[in-house]
């Protein structure tokens, strides 16, 4: 005790300035509060989906060249300028999805060895440059490649944004914050349709992409210039060095207090001599990364809660994807809607925003647990599916629209809870991979095959009402799968000890937003993992 008091009375060790030199000291970001983080991520998500809506709009996508009675009318937009047929035009959307699905697991795996916040900065930079190049494209292949790169750029954000939001959201409002974030999907699509039409028709389709790149560039720069945020379950990139320095600093301080300054400096010099000859263990080979990825994938696929959640999500997304593509055509055929696009688009946007936010707040009100999330998922999907099924039985257009709106309101309430389960059923270090593989699965097995399969079914049946009713019944298996999840043994692993304990020294290179998310833990001598 006397020794400790003697040490406290002395000036700080000369090792501290050296440690400061070895740390990544970046200017403080005290203004960067959790709510501002949510707002920034929402704007980025809005821009991502604005881009998807814009390229689907008539102002940007355009129309084919047409010839009637010997008189030819030039096409408009991308399709007209590059003389694309409908198949090539459809490939542009698929090209984006290829980049997204391939890159999502890669970015999730890289989060093990690269600061996740920096990865978002890299992804947004790729997105910005790719979108800019879309405006300079000169033929079908050039814009197809650029659209792939847009998907690659978005992949890092899709995998890592939700874990950051979940880390910093208040405990009682986690699902609500996730719901607000995912609300930007239907909102972004809607704004994109309007934006693409206005910019494309008045200035040309190329300006639509250029303006998007300008709007995203400040967020891409922010990912590099600000102090990197710490993601729960991941040690900073210089963790091994900082951790060892922290341990040695403590030892040197103790030795300096008991045996004098000379011996402390001697120990410090000895450590530096050893560390200079010690090979770096932080360099990971591609094989190491791949091995780690396979190990994480095995752990993820053996998690019954994760698998059940994603299986239900796939069935759900199969219906939603087909609705978004074939809904207007089915409405026009069944009810002779002259403005089917506007009707379905308006219902989807309004109900998507209200339903998504409501689902998050309802789960938080119920107490956000995995079991309660499955209860909400199964009940909302079952009742919502029943309403949509009943809507297509109506002969009246107005009866259909009213009941279909209620159904969509309920089925969109699943967005917050389903992503909450993805984040909380796995340990913190697996959350980016969990989000990435969930995204890959719902697209590969959900909305990507659903549109052509429903089209094939319609070709055989040749009755849109029957086709729509058969499609809607898939909501019920989705509800049943999520109902099974209620009875699975589930543990919220958000607060589970991560593979790397983060010391106070390591925190000098990161900027946590909530104090409780970064409570000091004891330093361990583990080597940093790839």
Highest mean pLDDT among 174-183, 193-202, 233-242: 174-183
Return the pLDDT at 31. Answer: 65
Return the pLDDT at 493. Answer: 85
Higher pLDDT among residues 236 and 251, named by residue: 236
Could you give the angle at the alpha carbon of 13 between the alpha carbons of 8 and 17, nearest 5°? 130
In DSSP terms, which residues pair with 71 in a beta bridge?
68
CA proximity to 434, closest of 313, 297, 308: 297
In angstroms, the CA 232 to CA 519 distance is 11
pLDDT value at 506 more than 60: no
CATH topology for 31-63+74-233?
Answer: Growth Hormone; Chain: A; (1.20.1250)
For residues 24-30, give the mean pLDDT: 41
Contact predicate 391/407, CB 8 Å = yes
SS3 of residue 76 by DSSP: strand
Give φ, ψ of 349 to 5 degrees.
-65, -50
Minimum mean pLDDT range among 16-25, 211-220, 328-337, 436-445:
16-25
Report residue 193 as tokens: 């349709």
In DSSP terms, which residues pair with 72 in a beta bridge?
67
Return the pLDDT at 492. Answer: 86
Contact predicate 435/419, CB 8 Å = yes
CA proximity to 179, closest of 15, 374, 419, 5: 419
Instruction: For 29-68, give the DSSP string.
Output: -TT--HHHHHHHHHHHHHHHHHHHHHHHSHHHH-B--EEE
- Segment holding 71, helix H or strand E: strand 71-73
- CA R_g for the chain: 27
pLDDT value at 19 more than 70: no
Return the pLDDT at 330. Answer: 84
Distances in whole angstroms, Cα of residue 208 to Cα of each of 50, 53, 188, 275, 370: 10, 11, 14, 53, 41
Return the pLDDT at 491. Answer: 87
pLDDT for 366-423, tens place per residue? 988 999 999 999 999 999 999 999 999 998 888 999 999 999 999 999 999 999 999 9
CA proximity to 107, closest of 402, 417, 432: 432
SS3 of residue 72 by DSSP: strand
CA proximity to 381, closest of 413, 422, 416, 349: 413
pLDDT category at 91 given cuts 50, 70, 90 is confident
In angstroms, the CA 133 to CA 318 distance is 32
Instruction: Tell me the percentage of the chain whose pLDDT exceeds 90.
Output: 36
pLDDT value at 38 more than 60: yes
Return the pLDDT at 135. Answer: 93
Higher pLDDT among residues 364 and 25, named by residue: 364
Contact predicate 231/164, CB 8 Å = yes
pLDDT for 300-340, tens place per residue? 999 999 999 999 999 999 999 888 778 877 888 888 877 76
Contact predicate 169/188, CB 8 Å = no
Arithmetic mean of pLDDT over the chain: 79
Return the pLDDT at 434. Answer: 92
pLDDT category at 6 given cuts 50, 70, 90 is very low
CA end-to-end span of the chain, whole Å?
41
CA proximity to 186, closest of 49, 35, 61: 49
For residues 98-105, give the mean pLDDT: 88
Return the pLDDT at 235. Answer: 57
In angstroms, the CA 254 to CA 378 distance is 59
pLDDT for 201-250, tens place per residue? 889 999 999 999 999 999 999 888 877 777 776 655 444 444 444 444 44
pLDDT value at 187 more than 50: yes
Return the pLDDT at 32. Answer: 72
Every domain of the chain with CATH number 1.20.1250.20 lies at 31-63+74-233, 295-492
Instruction: For 462-502, give the DSSP string.
Output: --HHHHHHHHHTTHHHHHHHHHHHTTS-----TTSPPSSPP
pTM above 0.75, yes or no: no
SS3 of residue 112 by DSSP: coil
pLDDT value at 480 more than 50: yes
Minimum mean pLDDT range among 68-82, 99-113, 467-481:
68-82
Report residue 74 as tokens: 């030039």
Which CATH superfamily is 295-492 part of?
Answer: MFS general substrate transporter like domains (1.20.1250.20)
């Amino acid at each position: 005790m006397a020794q400790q008091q003697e040490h406290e009375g002395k000036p700080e060790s000369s090792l501290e300035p050296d440690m400061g030199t070895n740390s990544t000291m970046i200017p403080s970001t005290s203004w960067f509060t959790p709510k501002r983080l949510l707002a920034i991520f929402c704007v980025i998500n809005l821009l991502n989906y604005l881009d998807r809506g814009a390229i689907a709009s008539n102002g940007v996508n355009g129309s084919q060249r047409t010839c009637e009675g010997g008189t030819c009318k030039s096409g408009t937009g991308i399709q007209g300028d590059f003389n694309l047929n409908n198949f090539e035009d459809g490939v542009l959307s698929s090209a984006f999805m290829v980049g997204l699905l391939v890159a999502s697991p890669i970015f999730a795996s890289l989060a093990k060895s690269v600061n996740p916040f920096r990865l978002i900065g890299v992804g947004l930079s790729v997105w910005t440059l790719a979108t800019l190049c879309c405006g300079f494209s000169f033929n079908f292949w050039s814009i197809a490649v650029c659209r792939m790169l847009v998907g690659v750029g978005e992949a890092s954000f899709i995998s890592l944004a939700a874990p950051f939001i979940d880390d910093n959201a208040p405990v009682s409002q986690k699902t609500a914050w996730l719901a607000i974030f995912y609300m930007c999907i239907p909102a972004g699509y809607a704004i994109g349709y309007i934006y693409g039409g206005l910019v494309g028709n008045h200035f040309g389709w190329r300006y639509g992409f250029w303006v998007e790149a300008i709007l995203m560039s400040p967020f891409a720069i922010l990912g590099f210039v600000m102090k990197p945020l710490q993601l729960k379950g991941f040690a900073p990139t210089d963790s091994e060095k900082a951790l060892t320095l922290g341990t040695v600093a403590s030892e040197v301080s103790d030795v300096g207090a008991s045996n004098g300054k000379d011996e402390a400096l001697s120990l410090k010099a000895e450590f530096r001599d050893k560390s200079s000859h010690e090979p770096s263990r932080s360099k990971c080979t591609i094989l190491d990364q791949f091995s780690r990825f396979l190990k994480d994938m095995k752990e993820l696929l053996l998690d019954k809660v994760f698998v059940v959640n994603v299986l239900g999500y796939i069935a759900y997304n199969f219906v939603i994807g087909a609705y978004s593509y074939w809904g207007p055509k089915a409405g026009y055929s069944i009810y002779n809607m002259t403005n089917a696009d506007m009707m379905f688009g308006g219902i989807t946007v309004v109900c998507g925003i209200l339903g998504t936010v409501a689902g998050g707040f309802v789960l938080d009100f119920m107490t956000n647990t995995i079991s309660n999330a499955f209860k909400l998922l199964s009940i909302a999907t079952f009742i919502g599916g029943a309403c949509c099924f009943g809507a297509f039985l109506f002969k009246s257009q107005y009866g259909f629209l009213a009941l279909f709106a209620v159904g969509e309101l309920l089925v969109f309430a699943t967005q917050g809870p389903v992503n909450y389960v993805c984040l909380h059923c796995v340990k913190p270090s697996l959350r980016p991979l969990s989000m990435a593989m969930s995204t890959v699965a719902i697209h590969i097995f959900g909305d990507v095959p659903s549109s052509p399969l429903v089209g094939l079914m319609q070709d055989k049946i040749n009755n849109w009402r029957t086709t729509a009713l058969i499609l809607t019944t898939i909501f019920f298996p989705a509800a049943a799968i999520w109902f099974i999840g209620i009875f699975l043994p589930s543990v919220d692993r958000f607060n589970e000890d991560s593979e790397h304990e983060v010391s106070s020294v390591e925190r000098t290179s990161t900027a946590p937003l909530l104090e409780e998310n970064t409570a000091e833990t004891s330093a361990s001598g583990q080597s940093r993992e790839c």
